Amino acid sequence: MKVINVVGARPNFMKVAPLVDAMKRREQQFTPLVVHTGQHYDTMMSDAFFKDLELPEPDLYLNVGSGSHAAQTATVMERFEPVVLQEQPDWVLVVGDVNSTLACALVCVKLGIKVAHVEAGLRSHDRTMPEEINRLLTDQISDLLFTPSQDADENLRAEGIPEERIRFVGNIMIDSLLKQLPRAERSNIRQDLQLNEYAVVTLHRPSNVDDPKTLQRILETLEQVSLRIPIVFPVHPRTEKMILGMEMAERLHYGKNGIMFTPPLGYLDFLQLYSGARLVLTDSGGIQEETTVLGIPCLTLRENTERPITVTMRTNTIVGTDPAKITSAAFAALDHKKSTERRIPPLWDGHTADRILDALL
């Protein structure tokens, strides 16, 4: 069975790596191809993630690059269609919720090629998020929908998706997490940064970093939290550009006020960093899930989440960008002793890739 696995941006790499690995282990049943659309175009960061996740070099690189949502989606479609026509795959797997996810699914459905969506059914119920539109539309047109949690199944049923298209398989991100944790332990990132007890911050969503007032409010709040615990902040290029253009840049530079800025980290270094944190503050979706499995308190700097199971498990708290909510939740988490108890959702066990392959067969 020939399967094209589509990656477009870094969050996709962690989802595709376990699938390709499982297909290579079952080589009599599967022939995997990896198509990198190049939607995320930072070569250095992309290459580091491929290496860290032991992903083979992409079979095809479409070199789409940046652009408006419309231009990027259209370019992916234009460049992916000839690939599908030439390869004639049995299945195309799209993952997550980036523009490449929707674009490649659209190409497939118009060509009559079977397409499956990995991480289907997640909903923030906020249509101002471009990712929400990508999720909704991809799920409507895909032949098979692989869900990470049972609330995702319920979302799909509520939208009228027939039961036979829905497969609850668990969380593919956790396959990568559990496989790579032992390798991440060899990273020296904590020693290099001379860390003991610390918190980790990530920020990249346009709603948080493109509005100077919102970003300044978050940074000032982080300064308050850093009075209690040092903060390590690997800075996304988009975020760094905004900070450097603000009056706060000098005040926050070079680790003053308890905040230590670092360049973006590879997957293994970052995994080693946040897996030892007392607290994580983020606007990322995937980190909400990974901290749940690791039992690390997570504060989500958004008004909603498409991963409500992390809130149900009580490892994740939605705090938005309100300074009082952020500091109150951060101090409450730090006041509690670090727990060794884990509340892990069903099928977040590291075997999701094989369940997906069984369903394709």
| Highest-pLDDT range among 154-163, 231-240, 255-264 | 154-163
Residue 256's pLDDT is 55
Flag the least confident range among 3-12, 58-67, 242-251. Answer: 242-251
Q: What is the mean pLDDT of residues 7-13?
A: 89
- CA 208 to the chain's CA centroid: 17
| Rounded-to-integer distance, Cα 90 and Cα 296, Å | 40
Beta bridge partners of 145: 117, 166
With contact defined as beta carbons under 8 Å apart, do 209 and 284 qualify? no
Residue the block writes with tokens 């020693």? 191
Which domains are delineated in the chain? 2-171+348-360 (3.40.50.2000), 186-335 (3.40.50.2000)
Mean pLDDT taken over the chain: 92
With contact defined as beta carbons under 8 Å apart, do 121 and 165 qualify? no
Residue 230's pLDDT is 94
- Residue 254 pLDDT greater than 50, yes or no: no
pTM of the entire predicted model: 0.93
Residue 249's pLDDT is 66
- Residue 111 pLDDT greater than 60, yes or no: yes
The total number of residues written for the chain in this structure: 361
Residue 43's pLDDT is 62
| Rounded-to-integer distance, Cα 1 and Cα 3, Å | 6
Q: What percent of the chain has pLDDT over 90?
A: 80
- Residue 222 pLDDT greater than 90, yes or no: yes
> Comparing C-alpha atoms, which of 95, 271, 298 is closest to residue 177?
271
| Rounded-to-integer distance, Cα 227 and Cα 221, Å | 10
Q: Which of 69, 117, 204, 351 is catalytic?
A: 204
204 a catalytic residue: yes
| Rounded-to-integer distance, Cα 358 and Cα 221, Å | 47
Beta bridge partners of 7: 36
Quickly state the pLDDT bin for 241 (edges 50, 70, 90).
Answer: confident
- Residue 253 pLDDT greater than 60, yes or no: no
Q: What is the mean pLDDT of residues 312-319?
A: 95
